[in-house]
Structure 1
Amino acid sequence: MLKKLAYITLFAVALTSCSDTLDDINKNPNATETPLAPYLLTGTLKQGADLYWGSTNNFDSSLLFAQHWAKIQYTEPDRYDVSNTSFTTLWNTGYATLITDLNTILNFPEQQANSNYKGIALTLRSWTFLLLTDAYGSIPYKEAGLKVTPAYNTQKEVYTGLLEDLKQAQSLLSPSKGTVTGDLVYKGDVLKWKKLVNSLRLRIALRIADREPALAKQAAIEATTDAGGLIGSNSETFQFIYTSSPQQNPASAWFETRDDYRISKTMVDKLYELSDPRLPVYAQLPSDASVGKYVGGGNGLSNSDANSQGFAKTSKPGTYFLTSASPAVIFSYAEVLFNLSEAVARGYIAGDAEQLYKNAITASLNQFGITNATVISSYLNQPTVKYDAANYAKSIGTQKWIAFFGQGLDAFAEWRRLDYPVLTAGPATVLDGKIPSRFFYPGTEQSLNGSSYQAAIAVQGKDLLTTKLWFDVK
C-alpha cells in the first residue's frame, strides 16, 4: 500500500513538473507580459499609415476608382474584376490589429495609460472606424471587440456614434493630464491632437450633410467653435513620416521591385487643362525622352491595351510619392480649409466660402512645395479655377480631388459624396459602365459572422461594388 501511494505521489509530481515545463515553453521570451501604451501607440500609428497608404486599400483599389492612378499591366483591379478576397486587408487589419490595440489602451487602468493616451486611442479608433464605414457601409461598431460575432451598425449609427466618441476624446485630452511617449506623429503634443479631433468632427459633419443636415450643422458648429481649434497650418497636418527601408513608404517599396502603375490620364489631363503647377510633382516625365511631356495611363483598359501604351512612354507617379521618406498624409490642412469652405457654403457656419476655397488650394500648393506667390495668384485667378458659388460642389469637389492625390480612401469617399469631377469608367470595365461605390465585405464575414452579415445587407442592399452607401445620395 505504501509503495502504491509513493507511485501516485511521484506521478502527480511528474505531471505538475511537466505542466510547468510546458507553460515555460509556450511563453514568448520576446513578448512583454503587460503591453505598454507607448509601444501600442507607436505600432498603431505605423500600421495605420501602412494600411492607409499601402497597396491593397490605396493604389490597388481606391486610387484606381478615383482615377488618380491607373494600371499599365495586370489591370483586373482597374477593370473592377475583383472578388470579396480583394478587400480583406482594411477590414482585418482595422479590426484585428488597430481597433484591438487601441481598445487595449482604452481598457488600461490609469497607472498604465493616462487620460491623454486614452484620448489619442479614442481618436485613432474613431479614424479607423471612419475608414471602415466609408469603404464598406454598415460595419460592426458598438459590439466590435466585445463579441465573437458582432452585430453590424448602419452607417448613420456609426457616423453619429463617432461624433460622440470624438467629443469624449476631446474631453480626455489636456496638457495637464500627463505626458505621452511613443507618438511618432505629434511627438506627444496634446494640443495638436485636440485639433485633429475637431478636424475629424468637421469631416464627419460633411459626410452626413446630405442625409442629416440639422445634425451636420450642429456638429460643424461644435467642431469649429471648440476651444481646441482645428488643424491650422501645413505644419500641423496629420501625417506619418517614413524613413529608410524597412521603415519606408509603402509606395516606394512597391516601385523598387514592380512597375505596374502610372498616374491616371484623367488626372494628367485635368492638370494640363488647369495649367496646374502640381503636375510635375504628381507625375514623372516618361523615361523615353522623345515623348517630352507628361502622359497618363488610361483607366479600365484590357491588359493588352494597357501594355500597348508603352512603359517608357507613360508617366509614373511623381518621385515626391515614391521615395523612402515620402510622408503618409492622413489629414491635411488643405482638407480642413476645403471643409470650412463647404460648411460656409451650406450655411452651417459664418465665413467667406470663396476665400476659404482659395486658402485651401494655396495650402495644397504649399504642401507640395509650390510657394511662389505669382504662380499661386495666376493659378487661382483662372476662370477654370475660380470659385463658383452657384455650384460649390463642383469647385470644391474638383479641387479637393486634386489635393487628395495619393490619399485614395478619402479621395474615393469625397468623390462619391460631392460627385465631382465627373469620372467615366474605362472601356474594359465589368460593371456596365459604372464605377464602384464601395468595397465588398470580406468573404470571411459570410462564413464566420453570417447572421450579422445577412442582417446588414438586408438593410443596406446587396453586397455589390455598385450598391450606394447611405451617405452617397446622388
Structure 2
Amino acid sequence: MKLKYTTILLSGALLLSVSSCKKDLVKINQNPNASQNAQPDYLLTAATKATADTYWGTANNMDASLLFVQYWAKIQYTDPDRYIYTSTSFTDLWSVGYAKSIVNLNQIIKLADAQANPNYKGVALVLRSWVFALLTDNYGDIPYTQATNIDQYLTPAYDKQRDVYLALLEDLKTAQASLNVAGPAILGDVIYANKIAPWKKFANSLRLRIALRIADREPEKAKQVIADIQAEGSGYISANSETAQLVYLASPNQNPISNLFDTRDDYRISKTIVDKLFALNDPRLPIYSSKTQDATPNTYVGIPNGLLVGDASNLGFTKTSKPGTYFLAPGAPAVIISYAEVLFDRAEAAARGFTTENAADLYTQAITASLNQYSIGDAAIATYLAQPAVAYDATNYKKSIGEQKWLALFGQGLEAFAEWRRLDYPQLAPAVAGTLSGKLPLRFLYPGTEQSLNGTSYKAAVANQGADVLTTKLWFDVN
C-alpha cells in the first residue's frame, strides 16, 4: 500500500510539474529565427506546387488517368494498364489534396480575412475549388462541407457529388467578387506572377468547366451559371499566354514526368492516340510522341494498352515510342486550364443552346489554339482544318468536340478522363488483357485509410453512390 500511494504521489507531482512547465516548454521549443505564424505567400506557393506535383505525377496521372484515356501505355509492370489496383493505389490525390492543398488554402483564406486582403482569399478559393473538383471528378462523393473545418471534424461526412459541384460554383462566384485588380497586392503566386486580372479569368473558366460537368443533369443551372459569367464581364482565358499552368524549372524543381523518366523506362505512347494522329495527318504527332530509338517504318510506334508483361516487352524498347520530348523536359508545364479547353467549352455551351455564340467558329478556334500552343505554323493549321474528318458536325457535337478535345488535352490525364466520361468520345476499346470484364474504369477507388479511419462516413458514401469499384458510374456521368 505504501508503494501504491508513493506511485500516486509521484504521478501527481509529475502532472503538476508538466502543467507548470508547459508555458516554459512552449517558449523553449520556439525557433527564434523563424516566424510562428504562416505567411500567405509561402502557403500559396506551397499549396500550388504540392497540388501540381500530385496532379501531374505518377499515381494519378502516369499510372492511372493517362492510361485510362489511352494517351500512354505501359511497356513494363503493366498491372495498372490492365486495371489492377489496390486500396492504396489512388491515395496521393486524396491525401495531398486534403492534408496539404486544402489545409493550406483554408489557412490563406483565414489570413486574408484577418489581414483584409480579399485578393488572397479570391486566389485561394479558385485553387481550392480546383482541388475539390479534382477530388469529386475522380472519386465521386467526397468530404466537402466538413472538410473545410478539419479541426472540428476529424471524420468528416461525405457530400454528394451534385452538392459539391453546386457548392464549388458558389465558391467561385465568391472568389470572382473578392478578386479586385485595384485591391491589395499578393505574393507567392507561381501561376500568374501575382497579377489579379488573369485570376478573374481563371475563376470564370473554372466555373464554365464545372457548369458543363453538371450540364447533362442540371441544364438550367448550367445555363444560368454561364449567363452569370457573361454578365459579370471579366471574361474567360482568352489567349495561350493566359493558360493557367505551373511552369517547372530545372531539377530539383523539375516536372514530375521529367523526374520519373530520368531513372525509369516504364511507359510508351498509346497505339490508340498514335493511330488517331496518323489518321488525321495531325501535326502534333512529333510533339506528343518521340521517334523510336531504332529505325522503324512508321517512325512513331505506339503500343496497345493493357498488354501482359511479356507481350509488352516483346514489342521492343527501342522499337516503340516514348511520349514526346516536349513532355519529358524538366521545364514542361503542368497545365490546369488551357485556352484551347476554354474555347471547346464555349463551343459546347453554344451547341447546347446555353449561349448565342457560334459553336462551329469556336470549335475551329479551339483546334487552332491547341496547335498554336505547340508553335505549329499557320499553313499546317489551315491544311489540318480543311480535312473533312476534322470539320465540325453540328448533328453530333459531342463527337466532334469530344474527339478534338481529347487530342488537345494530351498530357492532362485527370481532365481528359473526366471529359471522356462526360462526352463519351472518343470511343475507346478496353485494355487488351484488362481485368474488368470488357469494361473501362469510370472512377478512382477510395483510399483504404478511409475505410479504417472514417468508416461510418465511407459506408454512407458507398451506400449512396454505389460499390467502391472502378466501374461505378459517378453522378455527372449520365450515358
**Smaller-chain TM-score bracket:** over 0.9
Residues 1:190 and 2:196 aligned together: yes
Residues 1:252 and 2:258 aligned together: yes
Contact 2:307 2:431 survives alignment (8 Å): yes
After superposing the two structures, state which structure 1 stretch, 39-48 or 69-78, moved more: 39-48
Aligned to 1:160: 166
Structure 2 vs 1, CA of residues 308 and 109 (structure 1 numbering), >3 Å: closer, same or farther?
A: closer
Aligned to 1:220: 226
After superposing the two structures, state which structure 1 stretch, 87-96 or 373-382, moved more: 373-382
Structure 2 vs 1, CA of residues 106 and 393 (structure 1 numbering), >3 Å: closer, same or farther?
A: same
Question: In structure 2, what residue type is equivalent to 1:210?
Answer: D
Residues 1:128 and 2:134 aligned together: no
Q: What stretches of structure 1 of length at least 5 have no aligned partner?
A: 1-9
Contact 2:304 2:432 survives alignment (8 Å): no
1:385 to 382, 390, 393: 390
1:62 to 53, 61, 65: 65
Residues 1:32 and 2:38 aligned together: no
Give the CA deviation at 1:224.
3.1
Contact 2:175 2:203 survives alignment (8 Å): yes
Q: For the residues of structure 2 that align with 1:162 and 1:145, how far apart are their CA atoms?
A: 12
Helix, strand or coil at the partner of 2:120: helix
- Deviation per residue, 1:38-85 (Å, 9 max, x gap): 001111111121111111110110000010000000001100010110
Aligned to 2:104: 101
Contact 1:291 1:313 survives alignment (8 Å): no
- Deviation per residue, 1:416-474 (Å, 9 max, x gap): 00000000112211000111000000011111111111111111001010000000011
Aligned to 1:350: 356
Give the CA deviation at 1:223.
2.1
Aligned to 1:441: 446
Aligned to 1:201: 207
- Deviation per residue, 1:174-223 (Å, 9 max, x gap): 02220011111111111100000000111011000110111111112222
Aligned to 1:281: 287
- Deviation per residue, 1:127-158 (Å, 9 max, x gap): 00000000000000011042111111111000
- Relative to the length of structure 1, the TM-score reads 0.95
Give the CA deviation at 1:112.
3.7
Q: For the residues of structure 2 that align with 1:327 and 1:334, how far apart are their CA atoms?
A: 15
Residues 1:331 and 2:337 aligned together: yes
1:49 to 37, 48, 52: 52
Give the CA deviation at 1:369.
1.4
Helix, strand or coil at the partner of 2:437: coil
Question: In structure 1, what residue type is equivalent to 2:68?
Answer: F
Q: For the residues of structure 2 that align with 1:15 and 1:194, how far apart are their CA atoms?
A: 51
Helix, strand or coil at the partner of 2:109: helix
Aligned to 1:318: 324
2:406 to 401, 406, 414: 401
Structure 2 vs 1, CA of residues 15 and 165 (structure 1 numbering), >3 Å: closer, same or farther?
A: closer
Q: How many residues align?
A: 464
Q: For the residues of structure 2 that align with 1:340 and 1:175, how far apart are their CA atoms?
A: 25
Q: What stretches of structure 2 of length at least 5 have no aligned partner?
A: 1-12
Q: For the residues of structure 1 that align with 2:362 and 2:84, how far apart are their CA atoms?
A: 40
Q: For the residues of structure 2 that align with 1:397 and 1:386, how far apart are their CA atoms?
A: 13
Contact 1:202 1:224 survives alignment (8 Å): no
Contact 1:281 1:320 survives alignment (8 Å): yes
Give the CA deviation at 1:37.
0.4
- Relative to the length of structure 2, the TM-score reads 0.94
Contact 2:113 2:121 survives alignment (8 Å): no
Aligned to 1:229: 235
- Deviation per residue, 1:298-338 (Å, 9 max, x gap): 10111111111110000000010001111111100000000
Q: For the residues of structure 2 that align with 1:321 and 1:57, how far apart are their CA atoms?
A: 16
Q: For the residues of structure 1 that align with 2:271 and 2:343, how far apart are their CA atoms?
A: 27
Please, what is the CA RMSD of the aligned residues?
1.8
Q: For the residues of structure 2 that align with 1:315 and 1:471, how far apart are their CA atoms?
A: 35
Question: In structure 2, what residue type is equivalent to 1:221?
Answer: A
Q: For the residues of structure 2 that align with 1:336 and 1:398, how far apart are their CA atoms?
A: 15
Give the CA deviation at 1:29.
6.5
Question: In structure 1, what residue type is equivalent to 2:453?
Answer: L
Structure 2 vs 1, CA of residues 30 and 85 (structure 1 numbering), >3 Å: closer, same or farther?
A: farther
Question: In structure 1, what residue type is equivalent to 2:397?
Answer: Y
Residues 1:77 and 2:70 aligned together: no
Contact 1:199 1:223 survives alignment (8 Å): no
Alignment map for 1:273-312 (pairs within 5 Å): 273-312=279-318
Structure 2 vs 1, CA of residues 345 and 332 (structure 1 numbering), >3 Å: closer, same or farther?
A: same
Structure 2 vs 1, CA of residues 13 and 133 (structure 1 numbering), >3 Å: closer, same or farther?
A: closer
